[in-house]
Structure 1
């Protein structure tokens, strides 16, 4: 995993450089994964661990917005990118290899994050506004 300050998001491939974004047919409903900073922090506090968020292997860390826990809700990031929430991102057993109990700590209330598909592509950058589309 690497962290980037700016990245291209496309309909065909999701986040540029992430091979999972273009997998499994059209449209792939797990092109982009998102996790809230507050949820990650809460899960780590629950198990008394300190692990960088990118170890979760989510594509985007969201801060300042409570991610909707509803399929079909659309998010706009920056001026151009629109994502549609498709489902919860289920934490896997790999989380317990990072810290015992982490998988379970990520289970409540979509703490493990949300999966989304790209509705409209563009470039996003750290600090871009993110909002729920109405």
Structure 2
């Protein structure tokens, strides 16, 4: 994982430098970008009994974006706008995998309820994203 202050996100490639965002020919790109709510991560950490300096860093979850102060609907189909031009159509829940338990015992189960593992989406308009950019939910 690489933490960036600014990154370019495109319809064809997803997050610059993340090969998992590339849409393969014939694919729908439903898993192009991943988003994790800070509040959901905090709930998972609390469930594991982790607090203060013992809290795992959010990028342990291996998501592209970490969002604070915004609760996303628990379904797909809506659009999220980030910054001036990036637009992402949320497609589905990001289910945690067994790899999470390799990082911390019980992490997979702690991320399972209420979409705590995050959301997945498809980029529908390119844009550059920077820490602190405004995020909006569109209908």
How would you bin the TM-score normalised by the shorter chain?
A: over 0.9
The aligned residue for residue 10 of structure 1 is 10
SS at 1:44's partner residue?
helix
- Answering whether residue 96 of structure 2 is matched by residue 96 of structure 1, we say no
Deviation at 1:97, TM superposition (A): 1.1
The one-character-per-residue Cα deviations of 1:87-127 (angstroms, maximum 9, x if unpaired) are 00010011111111110010111000000000101101000
* Cα deviation code 1:27-67 (max 9, x no counterpart): 31111000000101110111123211001000000111102
Q: Of 97, 106, 127, which residue of structure 2 is paired with 1:122?
A: 127
TM-score relative to the length of structure 2: 0.92
For the 8 Å contact 2:96–2:117, the answer to whether it is kept is yes
Partner of 1:54: 59
Displacement, 1:23?
A: 4.1
Q: How many residue pairs align between the two structures?
A: 134
* 5+ long unaligned stretches in structure 1: none
Cα distance in 1 for partners of 2:123, 2:69 equals 21
Counterpart of 2:45 in structure 1 is 44
Structure 2 counterparts to residues 56-95 of structure 1, below 5 A? 56-95=61-100
In the TM superposition, structure 1's runs of 4+ consecutive aligned residues that sit over 2 Å from their partners are 23-27
**Matched-pair contact (CA < 8 Å) for 2:77–2:89:** yes
Gaps of 5+ in 2: none
- Partners of 2:23 and 2:17 in 1: how far apart? 13
